[in-house]
Structures are given as structure tokens and as C-alpha cells.
Structure 1
Amino acid sequence: MKAITSNVEELDLGFEYSHLELPPSVFSCKTLVVLKLSGRIRIMVPSTACLPNLKSLYLNFLRFLDDESAANLISCCVALENLSIQRNACDEVRKLRIHKPTLRSFKIHYGNNIFYTDRDREDETILELNAPALQYLDVKYYISDPLLVANVGSLYKATLDLNKGRSCLSLIRCLEAFSNVKFLSLSGLTRGLKLEQGFPSVKLLKLTHLTLGARCVWRPMLPDFLQCFEKLEVLGLTKVRVIAAKNQVSRTPN
């Protein structure tokens, strides 16, 4: 770890052994601009952590010991613009709060092997995002807990791949927050999602490009769903399991 004391600007660390722990010096380097951490290593970030010049942070399959460690790492990056997270079942984080006024790009993928057995935590918010400068969002969310997105008025392009029960309500909440988005891609299971659940309140007046992707079941709601997007110019259907009947497709905007 001598590089940490050598005015390094980019650091890419990958580990194969889960018993390793990163030294605290990794989280106190004032010259770091890009930090990439990969592997099932234990991450414990002290409250004194400080990465004042970090612009891009990539976290792949790490083992944060608790919510506080994850919160400390994100909060200590006061200039953060790009954040990418891939999580797995070894992750101990229950609530992940991303409140970053500087954040411009955010990607988070939860694998389908994420699971929690504690019933008392079942209704807790797993991901909370508040990023007024955010322009690009990519979320793959294969768990049943709700997703809370707010204050993303600068969002330009969003990709959502949601799965399992209550993610349908998360989808509605997200769309309500996407007031200025122009490019939107949706995929994941939508079975059981009905318009009366909230879609009439969704109005994306600036959306021009919409893609409905794999595993979507849109036939019961596609025509009315499209009424939410008055300026829609391009509609893409990719590996859709059930497509609307011909008389319904005719109502789709060109």
C-alpha cells in the first residue's frame, strides 16, 4: 500500500480471499481521483475517512460489515460524480443511502442471489437515492424490498431492471420522480402490475425514447401506459414475452 502515500490518483485493487481487510490508509488519500475495489473482502470504513478529490468510485462484490461503513465511504467522497456498485449475498448492508449533490452517474446491480431471512427487516428501504445533479441511472434490482428515488430532476437517461413483488410499486415511485428523463429502458417482471396501482399519476412529459425489455408482460396495460408519455417518438420492444394485440398496437405512437 505504499502507493497510497505516493500521490496516486487512480487505484484499482482486486482480491480473491475474503479474510482480507483493507488498511484505513486507503480511505484517507487526498490525491485519489478514481478508486476501484473488487473482491469479497471485508470493508470497514472509519468515520474519519476522507477522499476529498475522488470523482469515480467502483465497488464490486465487497463485504461491508454494516450500514455505517457503506455510509462513511460514500459520505467521505465530497466531490463524487460517478458511482458504480455491484452487490452480492455476502453484503451485510441493509440500508444504502446515496445522498450526493455532486453525483452525475449511478449504477447499482443487485444479483438475483441477494436474500435476507430476517423477517423484521422485510419492510425496510434497501436503497434510497437523492441526487439532484444525476444524469444517468442504471438499476438492476432483484429483491422485493422498496426502492426510493427522489430529487433527481436532472436525470436524462434511466435504465431499470426490476423483479419481484413490491418492485412494481418501486417502479411507479421512480417514474414519478423522473420528470425530465428523455431516454427510459424498463425490464423485469411486471406481472400483476395494474394501472390502478398508480400509473395514471405518472406523466413523463419530456420522454422521447422508451424501451420495454426482457420478461415484461405488457399486454393488459400497454395502450394506457403509453398515454403517460405525450412526446414519445420511439418505442422499442426487446424480448417481450407477451406483446399487445394488433388492435392495441395500432394505438402505439409512431
Structure 2
Amino acid sequence: MGEQVESSGVLDRVSSLPDHILCRILSLLPIKDIVRTSIISLRWRHLYASSVSIIDFNDGLSCQPVLTENDNNFLNFVDRFLSNPKQLSLECFRVNDYWVRKHGIPRDESYLRLNGWICAALWCGVKEIDIEFGFLDVFTLPTLMFNCHSMVTLTLNEGDMKVPSNTCLPNLKTIHFGCCTFWDSCSVLRLISNCHVLENLEFICCDFFYISELNIRNLSLKWLVLDFAAMYVGSQSHRDFNVIGIDTPNLVYFKYVDATVEGYTLSDMKSLEKADIEITLLNSVDYERATNLLKGIFNVQCLCLTIEDCSKTFFLTPLEPVLEFNNLVDLVIRNFDNDDWEGTWIVEYLHCTPNLKTLTLELVMERTSAEGFRSLPTTVPLCLLFHIKEIEIIYFDGEENMFEMISYFLKHASVLEKLVIENIGPREKEKSTVIEEVLSLPKKSKKCVIVTP
């Protein structure tokens, strides 16, 4: 193709490039810029079909309350692009229904249009689908989506979802459900069990109705997140299930955020490397429930334990001797604002972790009435004597109870190499005075360095 001359006298060298180079250039552009190029000429309109691998509505549409000309161009672009799905190779399709609420768009017609786009993307052999429908009461997803052999990643956000009872997703490795409501909860659990190469599963703030037990079974699963933090308000739970069962023997990472449920049935997680547990205790009964949850993750190597003790009994209850984390080498303990922590409980917990190497404490205390130790422990944890090499204190308020616990650690930690104290915020003493007092504490380990950044 010969060089073209624009009216301004500038040579159009881009149009003279071969198709494969232009396709590569287009593939690097944001979707809204690709839409603009499609109106330049018939040649460019042909090229974008070979260059687009990702369609993302978040990038293509404006935030204006009404449809703009660019919005209409983008929607028409999607129509044209997906009109011949068998000729396309689409990697990712991210779609939302925010534009449906804009003035002048018929609701029913819009959702039929959305459904058609999803089906077309599936016919393209799409590998990743991300759907966020927040403005429709119940959206029945196309059956084709649950019988797609090309899909590797599925993300569903917001809205009431209906999952067909018969599914076949042989290559699906990642599922993310966010703020979804499942009225037929059993069907989504069957979906999980039938995904035989599934590795990552996340439920974030989802409602499950008409089931008493949330049972998750999958042999290939490696990453599991159950985050129901927004599902309880005060002392009232907003979910139907009261028992959680997890049968995932190859799980590597587990995150659980919730108030405790009545029962936990967790299979031996022999491959578990890391767990993030954030539990809210609403009454004294929850102590036993929390203990049962911790029993199920005894193989974990790295644990972050966050406790919101609304019952004010957890840290005052002696730990059961059945708790033992022989594989645990890295431990983080957090509490919530206005929750009293208890030094005796922390030391008792260290008795359950004989091989611990690093300990991090993020303890916030708003009331000065709490005590670091209700009684001085009679025996020193084995991990403190022989294994712990680093201790990090994230918040240090300069109060006596914290000094008492730090003094205990320094007195007994035989192989401690580093004690890090961050965010020193004393109430009555100057920061420099607090640091001097910490540095003057006796240390059993001669290698120990105290760091106060």
C-alpha cells in the first residue's frame, strides 16, 4: 500500500504497515481506543477483529448517568465484534450491567443483548469470563456457560444467580463468587464437586439459602476463601447453614472470615501451607466452636489468627491440650480495637506450636484495665526455648502489660536473633524513654538485636 497524505500534510506511515504489525499495535491499546480506530476505514474495522483478545466494559464505558456517543460506539462495537464468534479468538470477556440503568435503555431488551454477548463469547472459546450484574433481581445465566470446555476462570459478582443442575466445565481452574445470592445452594455445590481440575475457589459475602450444611468437596482444590464477614450483624447471623464441611485434601491455602458456626467438619489438610483465620466470637459457646475450627487446620505451616472477642471470654479460657500445631513455623496473632488481649493466653498458645520460628503480634488495647499476665506461666514453651528466632511487635503502647510480655520473651528466648518493635505510641512516657527501657531489659540470647524503626 502506498503512503497516504493527510490534509495537514503529515504522512500516514501507520496505514502502510503490514496487517500483522497493525494487529499487534492494536492489541496493546485500551479497548476504547480500539473502538475509535474501527471507524477510520473498512480495513481498520477488519483488523480489530484479529487483534482484540480482551473486552472489558469497565474500560470501554463512561461513568456518565446517560449514554454518551462514545458509549454507543462501544456497545455497537461489541455487537459487531461478536456477530461472527467462530472467527474470533477471545481470551477474556468482562461484562457488567451498569449501562442498563442509563436513561433511554429498555431493560428487557438490554438483558437479552447481554445474554447474547455472553453466549457469543462462549462460542469464541473464551478462557475467562467476569460477569457483574447488580441491577437485576434474578439473572438466569446461559446454560452454555456451564458446559463450556474452553473456560479456565469464572467470576460472578452481585445479584441472584441460578446455576443449572447439570454442568460440565472440564478445564475450569478458578471460580470467584462475590456478593451472590444462591437460592438453589445445592446446585452450586454440585458445580464445585464436578470441576475436576479446579484449583482456586472464593466465596466473598455470598448468601446460601435452604441448606443447613455448607459442604465443599473437591480433590484438586488448592486455594479456598470463605469470607462471610458481612453476613452477620451484631448477634444475628444472615445465612441458613450452621455447619461447614470441607473435604479438600490437597488444599494449600485457606482463608476463613466469619462468626463461628455450630459445627466444623474439616478433612485432614496434609498439604496446607498457609491459613488466614478471622473469627468473631459472639458468646461463650463460640469458644468451643473456634477450637474445633483450629483443630481442623493443625497441619498448617503459616497461620494468621485474628480474633474479635465480643463475648470477652476467649482470652480468659485455658486452651485445650488437644491443640497442637507441629508444622507451624510462622504465626501472626491479631485482635480488634477495644478487645483486651491476654498475655497468659498467648504463652499458652505457644505451647501448642513447638517448632515455631517467627512470631508477630498485632495487639491493640484501648482499655488500660486489661492485664498482660493473669498468672505467670510455670513452664516455658519449647518454641521459645529452642526455635523462635524473630519476634515482631506491631503496636507498642508503652503500658506495663506489654513490657511484661516483652520481658518474658527476652528472658526465655534462647535463640532469638531479632526483636522488632514498631509503631511505638506511649500514652504517658516519651518514645525515647520507652526505647531505653526496652533496650535495658535482660536478654537470654546474646545474638538478639532489638530494632525500633
Tell me, yes or no, whether TM beats 0.5: yes
Moved more, 109-118 or 20-29: 109-118
Equivalent residue for 2:308?
Answer: 189
For residue 161 of structure 1, what is the aligned residue in structure 2? Answer: 278
Rounded Cα–Cα distance in structure 1 between residues aligned with 2:204 and 2:125? 28
Bigger mean CA deviation after superposition, 189-198 or 67-76: 189-198
Which of 19, 28, 32 is matched with 2:147 structurally? Answer: 28
Identity of aligned residues (%): 23
**The one of 302, 322, 332 aligned to 1:211:** 332
- Pick aligned residue for 1:149 from 254, 266, 274: 266
Q: Which amino acid aligns with 1:30?
A: H
Name the counterpart of 2:219: 101
Question: Equivalent residue of 2:201, what SS?
Answer: strand
> Which amino acid counterpart does residue 26 of structure 1 have in structure 2?
M
CA contact (8 A) 1:14 1:38 kept: yes
Conserved? CA contact 1:136–1:156, under 8 Å: yes
8 Å Cα contact 2:267-2:296 kept in structure 1: yes
Q: Give CA-to-partner distance per residue, 1:195-254, whole Å, 9 cap, x none.
A: 867531111112111111132633341221211111112111114336733445444454
1:13 — aligned with what? 131
Per-residue deviation, 1:60: 0.5
Q: How many residues align?
A: 248
The reply to whether residue 55 of structure 1 matches residue 173 of structure 2 is yes
**Stretch of structure 1 that moved more, 4-13 or 237-246:** 237-246
Opposite residue 23 of structure 1, the aligned amino acid is: P
4+ runs deviating over 6 angstroms: 194-197
Alignment partner, residue 131 of structure 1? 248
User: Counterpart in 2 of 1:225?
Assistant: 349
Tell me what 1:73 maps to: 191
> SS state of the match for residue 225, structure 1?
helix
Matched residue type, 1:137:
F
Q: State the Cα distance separating 1:54 from its structure 2 match.
A: 0.4
The residue type equivalent to 2:353 in the other structure is F
Deviates more, 1:144-153 or 1:67-76: 144-153
TM-aligned CA distance change 1:185 to 1:30, over 3 Å: same
Higher RCO structure (Cα 8 Å, ≥6 apart): 1
**Structure 1 match to 2:290:** 171
- Shift of residue 5, structure 1, vs aligned partner: 2.0
- Are the structure 2 counterparts of residues 194 and 116 from structure 1 closer, same or farther at C-alpha, using a change threshold of 3 Å? closer
The alignment yields a C-alpha RMSD, in angstroms, of: 2.6
Unaligned runs of 5+ residues in structure 1 are none
Residues in 1 aligned to 2:298 and 2:260: alpha-carbon distance in whole angstroms: 25
Q: How far 1:27 sits from its partner (Å)?
A: 1.1
Distance 1:143 1:229 in 2: 23
Residues in 1 aligned to 2:202 and 2:371: alpha-carbon distance in whole angstroms: 33
Rg: which structure is higher? 2
